Amino acid sequence: MKYTITFNENLPFKPERNQVIYIGPDNNTLTTRIVAANYEFLKRKFAVHGLEFVFLPMLFHDADVERKVRYYAPYIQSQVVETTPLSSSLLLNYLSEESRREEIQPSFIYKGRQKDDGWVFDATTLDINSQGGIGYLLPIVLDVVGELGWPGDVNLSRVDERILSTRQSETRKQKDNKGNKWHIPSILQRLNHSYCPDKMDEVEERLEPVEQATEPAPYEISGQDVSEILSDLQDAVSRLRLKGVTLMAIHEMIDKQEPLSRLVITPDYRLLLPDYNNMEIEMGTLPKAIFFLFLRYPEGIVFKSLPDHYTELLNIYRQLRPGSNEERMKVTITKVTNPLGNAINENVARIRKAFVEKFDEHLAQNYFVRGERAGRYGISLDRSLVVWEE
């Protein structure tokens, strides 16, 4: 059954067009258990068509989502992420008509859009049973994909030819699948992953997070434009951004008063954030020297006064690069303290990149150098959180 569902204006996220969300009365309904048992399968099916399937009860058991959560909230310990339960009924707390709550059946909701004083979603009821299982879910998935019109160049019969029968031979030749009615062949029974109690342990298994390679920044001025550095940064973190209902879910889990980590500088000048799971921030030698300079000045520095800090910055740079060519170092520091050049902006951008690649900017902005044009630039982190190890 298709219907619309309206949430009030306090819905704590902006719907994403590519998200399909499961809602249900609670986590113990048969339908919710069947979806849980088929979660990976359904997630892949939606992903083939460019859609993100959001199933709140298992959201934090998804390795990719866990990595995003740790990026957004680096202070959260792994075991907290692993053991935090979310209910499939969470969104029902924001229904515009509370009296309708008992009427809501397990459903996929999608196409969220703002209307008047609330948010309206299209919805499709999941009318499934223990015998049907995935056999009932698959046509609903393809129906939702068709309604979203996503994407136009995917041949659905080819994508699902192993488990879905196609129409008659002349229909199979058609490239447009909008009018197809799918039928479940007998082979589906052999591929059925419907819920049964002894399989629920498999659902709890988690994938290992994928490590992201970070390319170290060069210590010399490369001449790369600031906009290119920031563009690279945007590309690097875009896949780690929490969006839509996923961002709402993390706010259900974290403290409203988010802690800042201490910044520890080791004797060999490594930058550690011990309260963010002992995270290390890596950057090139020149950006690090500039970072240390700004750490010395809680009140900030005006770029036009950088020539006054030439000797101080050169001494910091010498400490970080002992035994390097003296004349070459002087040329480098001369360039970076020239307020009319672009070298300082490039390296401030690299400092920002070093932090924002590791955790979200809403926290990282306390650690990198920022300011306004013609004004003071500085690091806002309370210096009581800065620890220089000896």
Identify the pLDDT of residue 133: 61
| Structure confidence at residue 244 (pLDDT) | 76
Instruction: Look at strands 52-54 and 107-115 and give their pairing.
Output: unpaired
Give a yes or no: residue 218 inside a domain. Answer: no
Domain membership of residue 212 (yes or no) is no
Looking at the domain assignment, is residue 215 inside a domain? no
Domain end residue (candidates: 170, 203, 236):
203
Whether 214 is covered by a domain: the verdict is no
Instruction: Please tell me whether residues 234 and 190 are part of one structural domain.
Output: no
- In a domain, residue 210? The reply is no
| Whether residue 261 sits in one domain with residue 164 | no
User: Could you tell me if 24 and 169 lie in one domain?
Assistant: yes
The answer as to whether 158 is a domain residue is yes
State the pLDDT at residue 256.
57
Is residue 349 within 8 Å of 229, Cβ to Cβ? yes
Question: How does pLDDT run across 7-17, given as a tens digit for each residue?
Answer: 999 888 888 88
Regarding whether 193 and 238 lie in a shared domain, the answer is no
Tell me, yes or no, whether 188 and 293 share the same domain. Answer: no
b/e per residue 300-339 (b: at least 16 CB within 10 A): ebebeebeebeeebbebbeebbeeeeeeebeebbebbbee
Do 197 and 237 share a structural domain? no
Residues 34 and 170 placed together within one structural domain of the fold = yes
The string of pLDDT tens digits covering residues 205-240 is 332 333 333 333 333 444 456 777 777 777 666 667
In a domain, 216, yes or no: no
> In which residue ranges of the chain is pLDDT below 70?
78-84, 129-135, 150-225, 235-239, 253-257
Do residues 111 and 259 share a domain? no
E-strand ranges in 11-115 read 19-23, 52-54, 107-115
Do 50 and 197 share a domain, yes or no? Answer: yes
Domain hosting 149: range is 2-203
* Residues 327, 363 within the same domain: yes
As for how many domains the chain has, the answer is: 2
pTM of the model: 0.61
Starting at the earlier edge strand, list the strands of the sheet with 386-388: 279-281, 271-273, 263-265, 386-388
Residue showing tokens 């009860």: 57
pLDDT digits (tens, 9 = 90+) for 75-128: 887 666 666 678 899 899 999 988 888 889 999 999 999 988 899 999 999 877
Of 139, 168, 203, the position where a domain reaches its end is: 203
List of long-range contacts for 228-233, beta carbons under 8 Å, 24+ apart = 229/346, 229/349, 229/350, 229/353, 230/349, 230/352, 230/353, 232/353, 233/349, 233/352, 233/353, 233/356, 233/357
Does residue 219 lie within any of the structural domains? no
pLDDT confidence of residue 134: 65
- Check whether residue 190 and residue 237 sit in a common domain: no
Pair (41, 177) in one structural domain: yes
